[in-house]
Chains A and B, each alone.
Chain A
Amino acid sequence: MNITVTVNGSARTSEVEPRMLLVHYIREVLGLRGAHVGCDTTSCGVCTVLLDGLPVKSCTMFAVQADGRSIMTVEGMATNGQLHPVQAAFHSEHGLQCGFCTPGMMLVAKAFLEENPAPSEEEIRWAISGNLCRCTGYQNIVKAVQAAARNMSEVSK
């Protein structure tokens, strides 16, 4: 099937098998390697990307379903060489270790902060609870989201 998907702002047209999962389309057809695969059961969230601005687990969607829609991956977070505040905060707060869950976590955080710019710790923990991390114990991820929220609100002032 021929599909056209807007990926990080650019329209991409490809021929795919209907059964191809969105994550394989992103990784193998488009060559964007930030989305990973960590489970078989829609549990871990390391494949998370934004579909029309909302996080989805790209292992649990067929690429053909994204035809005509818009996707953002971690590769699209930085603009003009500037890290997104969420990316900068994951670095400054040591919100990552092995880095495998990081792209999905950051995309979830980005979408969440757009909906809730001043969240509590509890709200952040709730928002990232569809994404597993095995290294950090989440605490520094929470700190990173808090730091990003502060930085984003200062910028918007």
Chain B
Amino acid sequence: MFPSQFTYHAPATLGEALALLAEHGDDAKVLAGGQSLIPLMKLRFAAPPIIVDINRIPGLDTIAEEGGSLRVGALVRNRAIERSDVITSRYPTMAAAAPMISDPVVRNQGTFVGSLCHADPQGDWGSVMLALDGSVVARSVAGERVIPIGEFLDGPFTSTLRADELAVEARVPDPGSEFAGTYLKLERKVGDFATVGVAVFLATSGGTVTKAGIGLTGVGATNIKATAAEQALVGGTVSDALIEEAARLAAEAADPRTDIRGSADYKRDVVRVYVARGLRAAAATPVA
């Protein structure tokens, strides 16, 4: 498997990178972890004439809480997320998903932000971000904009990131002081894309749900935010009946297709079961 020829740029600064993107637009493709892009290039499903390798730009590899949110830089590898103390202690939905991303060797290279930009509807991070109401920071020579994840994910393998923009960071809001979350993934084997993935997040105050997030993987043209299920949870106290209702609503929000992984009915029912299990697990292990 042999990629087509391209011109290679490895800018040393963010400014250089943005200038290259401004100059080349759609001809340029950003290379971060490369774990989605390079396989596509090897299969010649992608043949960008220009590669902008951002790996030599300093300062893009930090995980930090700052200004009321968690900030994950464009070069933060999945490996680092898996081993991050702040994520393990404060962002349980992310912590649960991290070890399920692809496989351990791929996680050493693949990046969180790169995965979001790839916008694979079977990608796990999109659902996690939907559940957590995250956003993506896009920078260009013209300036910076913060794009809520729901607006960022635009369709299968398409985002609203412009060709001259670089996604420099992802942001996740502070979870508050009483919260819980998890990620459940039905995969046929390690390294498989999700047949169904479910991200859940709950913030509570004195037993009452103050914020709920549910994201669904692999059951639609993009990752799906199960808004009705979230709304049903907010303001209630977690009970079996409420969980079943939220799970039912989440299953209704799913729009799966029948394929080799299973029928649409199957996937929808797994969404129901997983949302219920995820909420139960979250309710059982709150961080306070």
Contact = CB atoms under 8 A, between A and B. Distances in A.
Interface of A: 1, 17-19, 21, 40-43, 45, 48, 54-57, 59-62, 64-65, 67, 108, 126-131
Interface in B99-154: 99, 102-106, 108-109
A130 B39 contact: no
Interface in B8-66: 8, 10, 31, 34-35, 38-39, 41-43, 51, 53, 55
Interface of B: 1-8, 10, 31, 34-35, 38-39, 41-43, 51, 53, 55, 79, 99, 102-106, 108-109, 190-191
A17 B105 contact: no
Question: Which one of A19, A126, A129 has the highest number of Cβ atoms from chain B below 10 Å of its Cβ?
Answer: A19
Contact of A56 (B1, B41, B51, B105): B105
Contact of A17 (B5, B103, B104, B190): B5
B1 A127 contact: no
A131 B105 contact: yes
Contacts of B43: 40-41
Nearest to B77: A54
A59 B191 contact: no
Contact of B42 (A1, A54, A59, A126): A59
B51 A18 contact: yes
Contacts of B108: 54-56
Nearest to B9: A18
A21 B38 CA distance: 9
A57 B104 CA distance: 11
B110 to A, nearest CB: 9
Contacts of B42: 21, 40, 59-60
Contacts of B106: 42, 57, 60, 130
Q: Considering the complex of A and B, which 5 residue pairs feature the smallest CB-CB distances, nearest first?
A: A130-B103, A130-B105, A18-B8, A40-B1, A129-B190
30 contacts: A18-B5, A18-B6, A18-B7, A18-B8, A19-B2, A19-B5, A19-B41, A21-B3, A21-B42, A40-B42, A42-B35, A42-B39, A45-B103, A55-B108, A56-B108, A57-B105, A59-B42, A60-B39, A60-B106, A60-B109, A64-B10, A64-B53, A65-B53, A108-B104, A108-B105, A126-B99, A128-B104, A129-B191, A130-B102, A130-B103
Given A18-B7, A18-B8, A18-B51, A61 B1 contact: no
Contacts of B34: 60-62, 65
Contacts of B1: 40, 59
Given A18-B7, A60-B42, 4 more contacts: A19-B5, A42-B106, A54-B79, A60-B39
